[in-house]
Amino acid sequence: MQTPVNTLKKALQAGEVQHGIWLTSGTCVLAELAGNAGFDWCLIDGEHGPNTVSEMLPQLQALAISGTSPVVRIANAESWMVKQVLDLECQTVLIPMVDDAETAQEMAQAMRYPPDGNRGMGAVLARATGWGAVSDYPRAANREVCLLVQAESATALENIDAIAATEGVDGVFVGPADLTADMGYPGQADHPEVEKAIDHMIERIVAAGKIAGIITFDESRFAEYAKKGVTFLGVGGDMAILNTALRELAGRVKS
């Protein structure tokens, strides 16, 4: 067996817009459903969803059957968290709350084996290598992993050029919700100052030659963000979609 090619990373680096959905339910059933729905990627959310490492594993297995690329967002910018999800065979990792180039560099190091980083050499015991069946993993893994860091604060806005320029960072994801709050406009993603900040960050990320990402539930903005250079585009969340569908159905039958 050989290390699988990270098809999501390959498509993103080729400039192809990849649409995906957030998974916050913590269940493999919804992961399987979303994986078979036709999205390019599904993100298992370990920051705001009830997803421990043990709960991520069956969701990754469900996505593997569907063929949809998995992404994991860990809870915090911690090297040990990066190591755990990589060993689970998730090649693309999203790191929240990365405010500066120093933190971005730490995460880039955590993603890769020496001499390019400091990831621990224990994957022979893990799912990433098929528990030892993938013979070339220590040599090929660095090439196939994909690091996306989240810029979602006023500090990250100031440091966006340095974050995007960090070696080993494959892309930068703009987190609109936390950015609005940190800028003093909580819940106002359409505030002119917030939109100006988001546009500026996307512009600088693209100018640095890195993957630009964002999430929006507003379907009218999908094409707009793609035109601005966003290729890692989150378009919804499992629980939000389910909640809306259930409430609409209940409303129809009760009317």
* Helices and strands per DSSP (H, E), number in the chain: 12, 8
The separation between CA 105 and the C-alpha centre of its own chain, rounded to angstroms, equals: 17
Catalytic residue selected from 19, 48, 191, 200? 48
Q: Does 200 qualify as catalytic in the annotation? A: no
Pair of tokens at residue 153: 């604060």
Which residue from 155, 209, 222 is spatially nearest to 182, judged by alpha carbons?
155
Query: Distance between CA 21 and CA 90 in Å, rounded?
Result: 16
Average pLDDT of the chain is: 97
Question: Tell me: the pLDDT tens digits for 39-71?
Answer: 999 999 999 999 999 999 999 999 999 999 999
Question: Tell me: the pLDDT tens digits for 212-245?
Answer: 999 999 999 999 999 999 999 999 999 999 999 9
Which pTM value belongs to this model?
0.96
The DSSP 8-state label assigned to residue 4 in this structure reads: P
pLDDT of 1 > 90? The answer is: no
Handedness of CA 212, 216, 221, 223 (dihedral sign): positive
DSSP string for residues in 25-94: S--HHHHHHHHTTT-SEEEEETTTSS--HHHHHHHHHHHHHHTPEEEEE-SSS-HHHHHHHHHTT--EEE
Domains of the chain: 7-254 (3.20.20.60)
Query: Distance between CA 254 and CA 195 in Å, rounded?
Result: 39
Q: How far is CA 152 from CA 99, 160, 181, 255, in A?
A: 8, 10, 9, 42
Question: Tell me: the pLDDT tens digits for 159-183?
Answer: 999 999 999 999 999 999 999 999 9
Question: Tell me: the pLDDT tens digits for 77-103?
Answer: 999 999 999 999 999 999 999 999 999
